[in-house]
Amino acid sequence: MRRVSIIMGIYNCSATLPEALDSILAQTYSDWELLLCDDCSTDSTLAIAQMYEKRFPQKIKVLKNDQNSKLPYTLNHCLQYATGEYIARMDGDDISLPQRLQKQVEFLDANPDVAVVSTAMIAFDENGERGVRRKLEYPDRYSLVSNPCFDHATIMMRKSVYDKLGGYTVSKRTERGQDYDLWFRFFAAGYKGYNMQEAYYKVREDTTTFSRRTLRSRFYIAQTMFKGYRLLRYPVRYYPYILKQFVAGFTPVFLLNLYRKYQDKKTLCAD
């Protein structure tokens, strides 16, 4: 058993996976296990993961879905094998900075009333760092009005909380936005979370980020918002925020990228 279990769903990320795995191996905190689940990749992703498993059999375990089942199912598959008191997330195309796990473990140890902690993220692409993404430090149930209030890939959550929530909802609706669904249920159950303002995670973003968010996926996210609003009993005045998904869906990708670049410049100047 390890104190921390890191769960990572992987799919066709062979170009970035080694850097992601090396960033975990470089952590200052050492009491961890890494559970990788391949969702039927068609490139060399699985072979790379298995190579690392052979090199570090006491630390890394590779799982494989029988068929392509998307991220919610894949993460639940990892959770079935997780032994840690704390569960950390990680994506196969990102980088955890060396102190990430140590800082999150120290925070949860010192704050037993907090169920999940996330960190700020440094966005980067092939041209370098683009800016810092920060969420509200002390989110509450109303922080979910317009978007998820925790950066999913950066979180560390108590396993007991994952267990009580039943993990991720597996459905067509949650193939994207599975974290949004999780946070609605998280706050409905009365849990508290915290967002570190320091960045201990680097998220890979490029010009294809917005193009991957199809109108259909935004429709499903809108469904999740509607269900979540009802679950948390939001007043009717909040419901127009759901329309934001459709506005974004019909906005040209180049305009969304321009807006993101503008936001990045502001955060870089602020830092």
Regions of the chain with pLDDT less than 50: 210-211, 254, 259, 262, 266-270
Which whole-number Å values give the CA distances from 185 to 77, 141, 220, in the listed order? 20, 10, 17
Query: Could you tell me if 10 and 94 are in contact, meaning their C-beta atoms sit under 8 angstroms apart?
Result: no
The total of other beta-carbon atoms located within 10 Å of residue 209's CB is 16
The domain total for the chain is 1
CB contact at 8 A, 88 and 155: yes
- Closest listed residue to residue 188, CA positions, set 144, 238, 247: 144
Q: What is d(CA 191, CA 125) in angstroms, rounded to the nearest whole number?
A: 34
Whether 74 maps to a domain, the answer reads yes
Q: b/e map of 53-90 (b: 16 or more CB within 10 Å)?
A: beeeeebbbbbbbeeebbbbbbbbbbbeebebbbbbbb
Rounded to 5 degrees, φ, ψ at 44 are -90, 15
Q: Over pLDDT 90: what percentage of the chain?
A: 80
pLDDT in tens, 191-243: 999 999 999 999 998 655 544 567 788 899 999 999 999 999 999 999 999 98
Q: Quick check: is 221 in a domain?
A: no
- Our CA angle for 214, 129, 218, nearest 5°, is 15
Q: Which domain holds residue 32?
A: 4-207
The CA distance from 190 to 196, in Å, is 20
Rounded-to-integer distance, Cα 240 and Cα 145, Å: 10
33, part of any domain: yes
Flag whether 194 is in a domain: yes
pTM: 0.91
Backbone angles phi, psi at 37, to 5 degrees: -125, 120
Residue type, position 175, single letter? E
CATH number for the domain harbouring residue 150: 3.90.550.10
Query: Is 109 a member of any domain?
Result: yes
Closest by CA position to 45, among listed 12, 4, 94 = 12
Amino acid symbol at 180: Y
Is the residue at 193 inside a domain?
yes
Helix (H) or strand (E) segment spanning residue 122? strand 116-125
CA dist 84 to 5, 81, 156, 214, Å? 5, 9, 11, 35
191 within a domain of the structure (yes/no)? yes
**In this structure, is residue 253 part of a structural domain?**
no
The predicted pLDDT at position 126 comes to: 85
Angle 223-212-5 (CA atoms, 0-180°, nearest 5)? 80
